[in-house]
Structure 1
């Protein structure tokens, strides 16, 4: 069981919203309405950890270890939303999200294969870590710069925890897990080929609600994410390369095989799929 160890390690580095955020360093001359609006959108997006947790608990009902870890993940993700809202409450109260806006991103996700969802969220944590690091550099107001830095570190730790559960799945499930992780790894590391940013909050998750079945589509400004990344924080090709390199590095650690490109990871995926098919075709 991983939960007790993960709880202890995350508890040791948990930050305090009152004492670890330098509220007294706020400089109002360095915060614009445009910046406050991006903080508002991120606060609402982070609130979607609520339906994601409900999905994880439903789809991993047979894995009490992972579901117990969700108590830590959910707490820390909701804390991200809370600290962003607290920042706005103190310094730009007119931008604080309404309860209705927060509730609008709570909707049911269709059931999905648990291992593929785990890998998708692992990649999402890596991407969010880099988005927030980039946002910290873009902002000029000292307090929000520090907040984005702090929550980016949380996202990196969450990715590390997910990786532990992925390693556990390789031991327990074997090639089925390898195939699932490699498949989603290829998808999530191929963001340059897609029109929209590849992150769990930007993927369709409820067929009956399509096309309003992504978290981003249910924000007050559904087009905000692309504008934030491309026109504001300037999450460019150099930043994207860091995300892809990090995914490939972790896949290399996970599968104990070096992947220098998405193409190499895809070749590995095909090998595993072929091996699985051969195994399943063998007579009992």
Structure 2
């Protein structure tokens, strides 16, 4: 089991909201209304760990190890929402999210293949780590800069934990896991070709609620994310390339095969899909 070891590792570096956040360094002159609004939106977005955890537990009923790890992931992700709300409570109480605004992002996700979902969230942690690092650079107020730096480190550790479960899945499911991880990796490393940010909170997950079936679509300002990325923290091609490089680097280590471009990863995806199809009696050979 991975959960006991991961629990100890994450427990050892867990930060304390009262003593590890430099609340006494707050400088009101360095916090604009525009910046404060983005903190509110991120606080609500982080609250979406609640429906994501419900999804993980539902779709991984046969995996008690991973489900137990969700207790740690869920705690730390909800803590992210809480510290952002605590910041607003202290310094911009007029912007603290209401309970209804938080509840609005809780809805049932459609069932999805567990392997693909695992890879999706691994990539999401990498992306969020880079978003928060960029947010820390964009903000000018010292306390919120420190908070975003703290959250970014958490997201990196979560990505590392997901990677451990991906490696375990490959030992158990072989080419099926490799094909699933490569498939989602190609998608998540191709964000520069899409009109929207590729992150779990911005993907459609409930057919019956479409088009309001993404976390971002249920925020008080559904257009916020693109504005935050493009106009505010300016998550440009340089930063996007950092995300792609980390995804490809980690998959290279995981698969023990070098992927320097998305195209190389896509060729590997096709290779694995063909091997899975060949090993499945009566399955059609993939052509794409």
Q: Which TM bucket (shorter chain)?
A: over 0.9
2:234 corresponds in structure 1 to 234
2:104 corresponds in structure 1 to 104
Please list every run of 5 or more consecutive structure 1 residues that lacks an aligned counterpart in the other structure.
none
User: Over residues 51-91 of structure 1, what are the superposed CA-to-partner deviations in whole Å (9 max), with x where a residue is unaligned?
Assistant: 00000000000000000000000000000000000000000
1:243 corresponds in structure 2 to 243
Please list every run of 5 or more consecutive structure 2 residues that lacks an aligned counterpart in the other structure.
283-288
Distance 1:39 1:278 in 2: 50
Secondary structure of 1:243's aligned partner? helix
User: Over residues 140-179 of structure 1, what are the superposed CA-to-partner deviations in whole Å (9 max), with x where a residue is unaligned?
Assistant: 0000000000000000000000000000000001011001
**Deviating runs (4+, > 3 A) in structure 1?**
none
1:207 equivalent in alignment to 2:228: no
Distance 1:32 1:156 in 2: 28
Distance 1:232 1:174 in 2: 42
Distance 2:91 2:227 in 1: 23
**RMSD between aligned alpha carbons?**
0.9
Secondary structure of 2:195's aligned partner? coil
Superposition TM-score, scaled by structure 1 size:
0.99
1:279 corresponds in structure 2 to 279
Distance 1:173 1:52 in 2: 23
Using the TM superposition, give the Cα deviation of residue 26 of structure 1 relative to its aligned residue in structure 2, in angstroms: 0.2
2:285 corresponds in structure 1 to none
Distance 2:158 2:252 in 1: 19
1:63 corresponds in structure 2 to 63
2:150 corresponds in structure 1 to 150
1:9 corresponds in structure 2 to 9
User: Over residues 110-168 of structure 1, what are the superposed CA-to-partner deviations in whole Å (9 max), with x where a residue is unaligned?
Assistant: 00000000000000000000000000000000000000000000000000000000000
Q: Write the mapping of 1:167-246 to structure 2, written as runs, cut at 5 A.
A: 167-246=167-246
Matched residue count:
283
Superposition TM-score, scaled by structure 2 size:
0.97
Secondary structure of 1:214's aligned partner? coil
Secondary structure of 2:279's aligned partner? helix
User: Over residues 12-46 of structure 1, what are the superposed CA-to-partner deviations in whole Å (9 max), with x where a residue is unaligned?
Assistant: 00000000000000000000111000000000000
Using the TM superposition, give the Cα deviation of residue 281 of structure 1 relative to its aligned residue in structure 2, in angstroms: 3.8
2:286 corresponds in structure 1 to none
Distance 1:37 1:190 in 2: 29
2:119 corresponds in structure 1 to 119
2:260 corresponds in structure 1 to 260
Distance 2:274 2:220 in 1: 45
